[in-house]
């Protein structure tokens, strides 16, 4: 792990030099900033996988269908 102490005005130039053309995602929690490459990001509790991501590598015959869940039993329909 590399630690850098930078002034705000030099942060953009330093990130551009270090990361070059990589796509990254920034997360801020209080005073901490985390930088993660987009390619290695795993789904987390705040980002669900897309249908394409879920079916990646699936070789079967996928077809969407609907199903009957019955009548509303609470306040599902307002």
Could you say which DSSP state residue 75 is in?
S
Q: Which residues, other chains included, contact 6 with Cβ-Cβ below 8 Å and sequence gap of 6+?
A: 14
pTM: 0.32
Query: With 70 as the cut, is the pLDDT of residue 67 above it?
Result: yes
Rounded to whole angstroms, the Cα distance separating 42 from 55 reads 15
pLDDT in tens, 43-64: 556 677 888 888 888 888 878 8
Residues 20-43 have a mean pLDDT of: 75
Distances from the Cα of 37 to the Cα of 15, 27, 29, 50, 75, angstroms: 13, 11, 17, 18, 42
Q: Band of the pLDDT at 1, cuts 50, 70, 90?
A: low
């Amino acid at each position: 792990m590399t630690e850098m102490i930078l002034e705000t005005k030099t942060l953009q130039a330093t990130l551009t030099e270090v990361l070059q053309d990589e796509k990254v995602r920034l997360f801020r929690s209080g005073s901490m900033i985390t930088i993660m490459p987009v390619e290695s990001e795993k789904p987390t509790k705040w980002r669900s996988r897309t249908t394409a991501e879920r079916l990646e590598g699936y070789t079967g015959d996928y077809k969407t269908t609907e199903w009957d869940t019955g009548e509303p039993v609470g306040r599902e329909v307002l």
